[in-house]
Amino acid sequence: MSTTPALAAEIVVAAASDLSFPIKEIIAEFEKQTGHTVKLTLGSSGNFQAQIVNGAPFDVYLSADIDYVRQLDQRGLVKPGTIYVYAVGRLVVWVPSGSTLDVEKLGIRTLVQPAARRIAIANPTVAPYGRAAMAAMRHYNVYDQVSSRLVLGENVAQAAQFVSSGAANVGLIAHSMALSDPMRSAGRYWEVPLDACPRLDQAMAILKRAHNAGHDEAARAFHAWFRNERSRAILKKYGFSLPK
């Protein structure tokens, strides 16, 4: 049963691209139940942070790295008390189904095989998953062997697109991408252990711009919706670990 507010509003949400699939399911239910609408923009967490600093009109920000949110908070751009860690991201090594690379057996050593001529990762300058990929390669001492093969996507979704389209032979991508409908049946993957790279604590916050734009109620409703059990179940379905 929907609970349409007296004044439904449209909020503008900036979300890390690893949320591409789960957030659309969450938003569909949110809009149906509340009457509010969401204008969603997906991209790299670092680019969004820079845009917010420069006045981009976002009401809610969901980042694949909590540090970006904390930095905005230090600048006075976040509504106090609204930083919430909604998930912990997971990194995987993914290859297409037809690949000769035995990723399940080789794990990270997949990257050093001759058939891994092009390796897609997100740009580590602006994308947390790119930094995690770099850290994992260094953790396993393979970075020096493969650095010349790296192909950088602007964000992890673009890195996933590179490898799923054949523009790269292997990709270090988000687990949530590997579990999405387009990729689940199209490839195989190996999960990078959590201790091989910095923990991907992902966080959201309401930005002060929401108040200035008169979107407070809708932004608070979306923030609460993201924390409910149904939304958490959707995130879990896409391979995210959930905070207590």
Q: Containing H/E element for 121?
A: strand 119-122
pLDDT tens for each residue of 150-192: 999 999 999 999 999 999 999 999 999 999 999 999 999 999 9
What CATH code is carried by the domain that includes residue 175? 3.40.190.10
User: Is the domain of 183 the same as that of 108?
Assistant: yes
Domain of residue 166 covers 91-191
User: Is the domain of 186 the same as that of 220?
Assistant: no
H helix runs in 81-139, sequence order = 103-106, 128-139
CB under 8 Å to 80, separation ≥6 — which residues?
A: none
Per the confidence metrics, is the pTM higher than 0.85? Answer: yes
pLDDT tens for each residue of 83-121: 999 999 999 999 999 999 999 999 999 999 999 999 999
Q: Has residue 244 been placed in a domain?
A: no
User: Is the domain of 57 the same as that of 139?
Assistant: no
Domain count for the chain: 2
